[in-house]
Every structure is written in C-alpha cells, then in structure tokens.
Amino acid sequence: MKFGTVAIIGRSNVGKSTLLNRLLNEKIAIVSEKPQTTRTRILGVVHAPGAQIALLDTPGLHKPQHLLNRRMVRTAVETLEEADVLFVLMDATSLPGPGDLLVLDHVTAAVNKRRRPVLLVLNKIDLVNKIKLLPVLESYARLFAWTEVVPVSAHTGDNVQRLLTVAVSLLPEGEAAYDDDTVTDQTMRTLAAEMVREKLLRQTHEEIPYSLAVEIDEFIEEGKLARITASVLVERESHKAIVIGKHGERLKTVGTEARLDMERVFGMKVFLQLWVKVREAWREDELALIELGY
Ligand SMILES: Nc1nc2c(ncn2[C@@H]2O[C@H](COP(=O)(O)OP(=O)(O)OP(=O)(O)O)[C@@H](O)[C@H]2O)c(=O)[nH]1
Ligand SMILES: [Mg+2]
C-alpha cells in the first residue's frame, strides 16, 4: 500500500482548485476567475487501487497586502513544506512570469530543506495549440529540475489520469490514513459558506470579491430539510448596497444559485437566508479571521 500527501501549489488562478475537484470527481473547492479564491487548505482524499493520496489544495501564492493574505500565503507555504510530493501548477497559456518565479522560489526553498518529487503540472492545455505549448514547456524546463512534466487540462480532464498514475508511482510506502469513504475534511457548514462565496465572487467585481467573507450563523437539519442562515461580511456600507443590488436582485440571485448547489451536494431541501453585514477592516482583524476559519 502507498500513502502520501500531495500539495497543489501555484499562483492564483492557475486552476489548483479545478484540478482538485477533477481528481476527486467531486466539487469540494470553489472555483472562480477572480484571483485569490481559495483562502484555506482543502483536503481531498483520492482513493486509487493500492494507494491513497491526501491531496491538498492551497491558496495561490502572491505578495500579501493584508493580514488575511499573509495567513493565506503562510498556509500555502506550510502545506508545501510538509507534503511528500509537490504538484507545481503553471498556466500553459503564457510564458513564466514574476508570479510563477515567486512560486519557484518557495518551491526551491522547501526542496532545499527536504528533497522530494516536484512535478510541473502545466494546466489549461485546452486553450493552447501544440505548437505554442513547446516554447512554454522549454522555458519551464530551464527553470527547475522537475521530477516529471505533465501537461493537463483540469477543465476537460485531458491527461489528468496520467498525472494520477505518475503521482501514485512517486508516493512513499505506507498505510492509508483515511477511511474508504472519506472524501474531504470540509464540513457541511464550510461547504455551504463557500458555495455562497463562490456565487458572490461571480456577481461582484474590482475590490469587492477580495473583501467578502461568508459566515454561517445557523445550520439546522430537520430530516430532509436544512435551514441555513448566513451572513455576508463586507468592509464598507457602499459595498453592502452593491452586494444587495437594486431591489435586492443580486443577493436574491446569489441565494438561489447557492441554494441549488447545496441541494444537489447535500441531497436535501435547503431553506437559505442571507444577510449582509458591514465589518470594517475584517481582513486585518485577527479575531475575525480566526472566527472565519482563515
Ligand atoms: N480553459 C481552462 N480553464 C481552466 C482550467 N483550469 C481552471 N480553469 C479556469 O481558471 C479559473 C481559475 O480556476 P481556479 O481553480 O479557481 O484557480 P486556483 O488556482 O484555484 O485559483 P486561487 O484559488 O485563486 O488560487 C477558473 O475560471 C477556471 O474555470 C483548464 O484546464 N482550462
Ligand atoms: Mg483555488
């Protein structure tokens, strides 16, 4: 039996959470086109024949501006330092940029402390033709002594099976750490909060996506019904008005979309109530961050 931890590392938006969901065949991490979507480490357990992988999605590595972001980067760095195998996710649609070099600095520092397999996972190959892929591959090959290079599309699933095979071959020997039916460490409360945040991210722009948080105030299961009350935290009164929208339309859309997701994932009827609250500078407030699970 093989068992090990695999960290998915990279800058924001390269598709780390999309890859996690793809490898699990289940949506446990929210995804959006806005940077810094993932704020915590998310465990997904991949059960393969003769092997189990504790796959860890992480926040995108970036230059942090707020306490929230410093904690996000710390989470990613700690995860990368502890993992047995690293998936370094890069975007196949562009040549390495400053954000990617920052990621490689972190990876190099961790590997210098303790050697272990480092895979270059070049994602989003569905967006580039093969001729354009070659120079990107060559640039990355020059930057690091990769154990293996695997181009994939987390979106279509192209070559993801091969990535799994390579990962399993690099895992240490060991007993499975999780039950056969364990998929994630995310609680229903956390999943519910994140589903609301995902819909909010899609509906908002500029500064607002970064300054939003969602807190579950009440999660009551009554047989096949869940009564969920959640607060959307924003940093300013003006943001509150935007999140609510004209005649409450935006918040209503968010609520409906999130509820439908919850009903599908939880397999129960959901009654969802959303409130919007102003909590000034929560991104700098350690207590608020701890309460929010960040
Ligand atoms: N075309 C294409 N789009 C992808 C692929 N993988 C991810 N995306 C898109 O890229 C965007 C970012 O995806 P995420 O999975 O949220 O990226 P992430 O690396 O987790 O980002 P952070 O959590 O912000 O660090 C989303 O719009 C995804 O739909 C892919 O293989 N192909
Ligand atoms: Mg993510």
pLDDT digits (tens, 9 = 90+) for 195-217: 999 999 999 999 999 999 999 99
pLDDT category of residue 29 using cuts at 50, 70 and 90: very high
- Name the average pLDDT for the chain: 97
pLDDT level of residue 285 (50, 70, 90 thresholds): very high
Q: So where are the chain's domains?
A: 2-170, 188-291
pLDDT tens profile 131-164: 999 999 999 999 999 999 999 999 999 999 999 9
Number of the ligand 1 atom closest to the C-alpha atom of 123: 31
- Identify the pLDDT of residue 12: 98
Name every residue whose Cβ is closer than 8 Å to that of residue 42 and which is 6 or more positions away in sequence. Answer: 17, 20, 28, 29, 56, 57, 184, 185, 186
By alpha-carbon position, which residue is closest to atom 6 of ligand 1?
15
Bridge partners, 47 (sequence order): 52
Q: Fold for domain 188-291?
A: GMP Synthetase; Chain A, domain 3 (3.30.300)
Using an 8 Å Cβ cutoff, are 88 and 19 in contact?
A: no
Three-state secondary-structure class, residue 239: helix
Q: Which of 20, 32, 14, 12 is nearest to 163 (CA)?
A: 20
Residue whose CA lies nearest to ligand 1 atom number 10: 15
Fold of 2-170: Rossmann fold (3.40.50)
pTM above 0.95, yes or no: yes
CB distance 37 to ligand 1 below 6 Å: yes
Radius of gyration of the chain (CA): 20
